[in-house]
Amino acid sequence: MVPLTRRRFLQISTAALGSATALPRWTAQPAWAAAPASGGVTTIPTLCDMCFWRCGAIAHVRDGRLWKFTGNPLDPQSEGRLCPRGTAAVGTVYDPDRLRQPLLRVGPRGHEQWKAVSWDEALGYVAERMNAIKAAQGPESVALFNHGLGQRFLVHVLRSWGVINRAEPAFAQCRGARDTGFALTYGNGLASPEPTDIRNTECLVLLGSHIGENMHNSQVREFAEAVARRVPVIVVDPRQSVAASKAKYWLPIKPGTDLALLLTWMNVLVTEQRYDADFVARHGHGFEQFKDEIKGCTPAWGAERTGLPAELIVAAAREFSSHRPATLIHPGRRSNWYGDDTQRARALALLTALMGSWGRRGGIFVPTSLKVENYPLPPYPGSNRPQADGADGAQFKFAEEGVTTSLRAATLSGQPYPIKAWVVYGTNLLQNLPDRAQTLAAIDKLDLLVVCDTIPSEIAGYADVVLPDTTFLERHDELFVGWGRRGWIGLRQPVVAAPHDQKPSWWIAKQLANRLGVGACMPFDDIETYLRWRVEKSGHSWERLQREGILMGPPNPVTVEDGLALSFDTPSHKVEFWSEQLAAAGFDPVPKYTAHPQAPAGHFRLITGRAPVHTFSKTQSNPYLHDLMPDNEVWVNAGVARARGLADREYVTLRNQDGVVSHRVRVKATERIRDDCVYLAYGFGLTNPALHGAYLNGASAAQLNTRYATDPLMGGTSIHGNFVQLVKEA
Ligand SMILES: Nc1nc2c(c(=O)[nH]1)N[C@H]1C(S)=C(S)[C@@H](COP(=O)(O)OP(=O)(O)OC[C@H]3O[C@@H](n4cnc5c(=O)[nH]c(N)nc54)[C@H](O)[C@@H]3O)O[C@H]1N2
Ligand SMILES: Nc1nc2c(c(=O)[nH]1)N[C@H]1C(S)=C(S)[C@@H](COP(=O)(O)OP(=O)(O)OC[C@H]3O[C@@H](n4cnc5c(=O)[nH]c(N)nc54)[C@H](O)[C@@H]3O)O[C@H]1N2
Ligand code: SF4
Ligand SMILES: [Mo]
């Protein structure tokens, strides 16, 4: 590998992000695919997995080693450019902390005493324990936690074996509330990538949504283009985020009061008749009742709750409504803020409807896809038991996916039936679920904890069996069928060989299937047979997909301007300003503001977001990204820091309302945050000493999330309801 100095790395990532590529946007045959490898360098297209945006990328391989990772110009997500994390994929392959072989626990759980074993022994052990649990308690007593494209076949095998309990933090800890709120309003969630037409917008409104720190590639690039086009940007954030620093209006809202602001904005739009009356008349359901519900939400009412001047609230509403329908009210993504997040998402959805910007150019488009045939696989067995997490309606009427924290609660209580094993694929539950003590207590109840990961993550530290997956650069995964302005298929394929005894996740799933007695559910010898079948049966060339990495579908209308006819899959077949479904289930049919708990004396609300060069807790041991940002800092209002005698860059610890104390972290004293909250980027302060570079670097926001509120509609867990004191180091 070419030694990559920090300086050169920065140059690469800046070029990757900022510069306009000379390649046309939709080349039929890119130079790198047509030309034979020169100078011993082979280029292989694949999909980035440094985060879940799944950008199309090109691996440059020399002498069997990956030395550069760049964007695939054919891919609609990257358009030839990766974010800094994608560029650093090389560090994921050569991370010295990688798991190398299967491990069996020999000491007490969590004490990290292992025996390296063969795959045969590891998978034989897993199958034997799982079959014993099935015989005694039924397959429902095994739960699966998973995330990412690599999970596909493990999920399939376990479901074929009888698993019905499965959840991922990307729902209840991420976009679940947002998608539920939009589905209740329009009949459809937004999924990923969210169809925001930033490229064509004439006014962008961001609540939270810290694009630029949230590095989702295409959104960041379209955002940069919008700023260059001098599109007015309105940012609502208690902290002056990177996006807020580019904004025409920054509204430093009192945390937790966004719903009051949204209701006030809607009141202003209705009162001043600035909404799209035609859209509402044609597509709206229950508008009069809605109007009646929000009539008390005047600017004075909103100002009192949000801490924002009434004039600023009104000025922002006048600004963004003057650009409708090309006004984009960004729907957000990580919506697990305060526990009433589905209702906040409903308010965002209704504000979009008042702008008439659903299905419009410059607003939210209705994405299209490409039809891909499904490989004929046997159906899953049924079960006469309910899901243990209540996400099938018993507890969370509107949850469309499994609820992690509720599955954890079922493991703790043994109700409605005991959960005796967790299989965990690609998700670090000790960081991404609130209240770590509950996660550890639930693990204590298990007869079996299997973790499949690439590095010694914190959750792997508690496993009975650790299965070392290959990295995404060493394996095939299921096809990625993308939804967007056009549909596309993206292929993940291996670009280098696994360096040790790591195995691809599809292979692990297939081997396990044989040992679990459900081998028939994987009726192909290798994954290429499966992938080729799907691609060719769908009328595409497998060889071309292997060569180019991306196959684009034909253009379809995605906005009214392109000829799209709007339709809504709600009970009324309209946009539900008033939700009969919510009313029938005993919830507010129109969102209502309720105040959230305030900080105890001497405490600050802990708010959180993303570090631009890291993904959650999974990239801290990547040498290049670690070099760029080894730890986090706690943002403290400069006046607060002065009053407490805290100097910029001085170390403090954070003690939360329940007495949990963080690892030491540097203070960033800044005017760019309100004085009632502090901010910490998520993903640091990792506690597994086997992560040599990343161990205890910075403070873990997750560790301080001991309190959470649960969204009663879909089970999402809030994390912004925790409060901390700043403790000076002795
Ligand atoms: N670099 C990088 N990028 C990522 C990721 C990553 O790990 N690393 N993860 C990706 C994923 S999965 C997701 S879900 C997204 C998440 O990214 P977003 O969806 O953008 O996350 P948010 O929580 O909406 O935004 C965090 C911002 O909200 C502000 N905030 C906190 N409390 C409040 C409040 O009460 N009101 C308002 N209006 N603002 C508040 C914070 O100050 C912060 O600026 O990021 C994605 N992009
Ligand atoms: N406190 C707090 N909690 C949060 C959030 C937050 O901001 N703060 N954000 C929430 C959000 S928005 C989301 S989307 C979720 C994200 O949660 P997850 O997507 O589950 O992300 P991580 O917790 O980083 O766990 C990813 C794990 O997968 C492993 N891994 C990486 N690549 C591979 C691979 O190829 N194969 C296998 N088998 N494993 C791999 C990593 O080493 C890591 O242990 O977290 C949520 N939880
Ligand atoms: S946004 Fe960045 S890390 Fe995520 S897939 Fe794209 S290039 Fe990779
Ligand atoms: Mo997320």
CB 57 within 8 A of CB 69: yes
What distance in angstroms lies between residue 72's CA and the mean position of ligand 2's atoms? 25
Q: Where are the alpha helices (DSSP H) in 425-526?
A: 429-432, 436-444, 505-516
3-state helix, strand, coil in the chain (%, to 5): 35, 20, 50
- Is the CB–ligand 3 distance for residue 48 below 6 Å? yes
- Is the CB–ligand 1 distance for residue 256 below 6 Å? yes
What distance in angstroms lies between residue 459's CA and the mean position of ligand 2's atoms? 11
Any residues with Cβ below 6 Å from ligand 2, and which? 147, 150, 169-170, 173-174, 334, 425-428, 431-432, 452-455, 457, 469, 471-472, 505, 608, 616-618, 682, 701-702, 705, 719
Report the nearest-CA residue for atom 28 of ligand 1: 208
How far, rounded to the nearest angstrom, does the alpha carbon of residue 224 sit from its chain's CA centroid? 21
* Closest ligand 3 atom number to CA of residue 615: 3
Q: Who's near 413: CB < 8 A, 6+ residues apart?
A: none
The reply to whether CATH 3.10.129.10 applies to domain 604-708 is no
Report the nearest-CA residue for atom 8 of ligand 3: 86
Q: What's the confidence (pLDDT) of residue 19?
A: 31
Which residue in 432, 695, 306, 533 sits closest to 314, CA to CA? 306
- Is the CB–ligand 1 distance for residue 678 below 6 Å? no
What distance in angstroms lies between residue 715's CA and the mean position of ligand 4's atoms? 15
| pLDDT of 10 higher than 80 | no
Q: Which ligand lies nearest the alpha carbon of 172? A: 2
Token pair for 194: 């969210």
In three-state secondary structure terms, 40 is coil
- Is the CB–ligand 3 distance for residue 422 below 6 Å? no
* Closest ligand 1 atom number to CA of residue 211: 20
Give the integer Cα–Cα distance in Å for 686 and 697: 7
Which position has the token pair 């709007």? 566
* Structure confidence at residue 16 as a pLDDT band (50, 70, 90): very low
Instruction: Out of 82, 178, 210, give the residue to mutate to test ligand 1, the one with the largest number of ligand atoms within 8 Å of its CB.
Output: 210
- Is the CB–ligand 3 distance for residue 616 below 6 Å? no
Lowest mean pLDDT among 525-529, 666-670, 690-694: 690-694
What distance in angstroms lies between residue 236's CA and the mean position of ligand 1's atoms? 12
| pLDDT of 24 higher than 50 | no
Give the integer Cα–Cα distance in Å for 446 and 142: 10
- Could you say which DSSP state residue 484 is in? B
Residue ranges per structural domain of the chain:
178-366, 604-708
What distance in angstroms lies between residue 186's CA and the mean position of ligand 4's atoms? 22
* Closest ligand 3 atom number to CA of residue 78: 6
Which residue in 168, 107, 114, 144 sits closest to 421, CA to CA? 144
CB 263 within 8 A of CB 232: no
* Closest ligand 1 atom number to CA of residue 255: 35
How far, rounded to the nearest angstrom, does the alpha carbon of residue 384 sit from its chain's CA centroid? 32
Lowest mean pLDDT among 405-419, 538-552, 678-692, 703-717: 678-692
* Closest ligand 2 atom number to CA of residue 460: 44
Which residue in 389, 392, 419 sits closest to 134, CA to CA? 419
- Is the CB–ligand 3 distance for residue 54 below 6 Å? yes
Q: What's the confidence (pLDDT) of residue 12?
A: 31
Report the nearest-CA residue for atom 3 of ligand 2: 432
* Structure confidence at residue 580 as a pLDDT band (50, 70, 90): very high
Give the model confidence (pLDDT) of 611-650 as tens digits. 999 999 999 999 999 999 999 999 999 999 999 999 999 9
| pLDDT of 326 higher than 80 | yes
Q: What does CATH list as the number for 178-366? A: 3.40.228.10
Residue 322 CB neighbour total at 10 angstroms:
12
What distance in angstroms lies between residue 265's CA and the mean position of ligand 1's atoms? 22
* Closest ligand 2 atom number to CA of residue 610: 7
Q: What mean pLDDT is predicted for residues 432-456?
A: 98
Give the model confidence (pLDDT) of 519-572 as tens digits. 999 999 999 999 999 999 999 999 999 999 999 999 999 999 999 999 999 999
Instruction: Out of 13, 217, 622, 624, give the residue to mutate to test ligand 3, the one with the largest number of ligand atoms within 8 Å of its CB.
Output: 217
Helix axes 341-354 and 258-271, enclosed angle (nearest 10): 20
Report the nearest-CA residue for atom 1 of ligand 1: 612
CA angle 688–694–697, rounded 5-degree value: 100
Give the model confidence (pLDDT) of 177-208 as tens digits. 999 999 999 999 998 999 999 999 999 999 99
Give the integer Cα–Cα distance in Å for 201 and 620: 35
Give the integer Cα–Cα distance in Å for 372 and 594: 45
- Is the CB–ligand 1 distance for residue 342 below 6 Å? no
Give the model confidence (pLDDT) of 38-58 as tens digits. 568 999 999 999 999 999 999
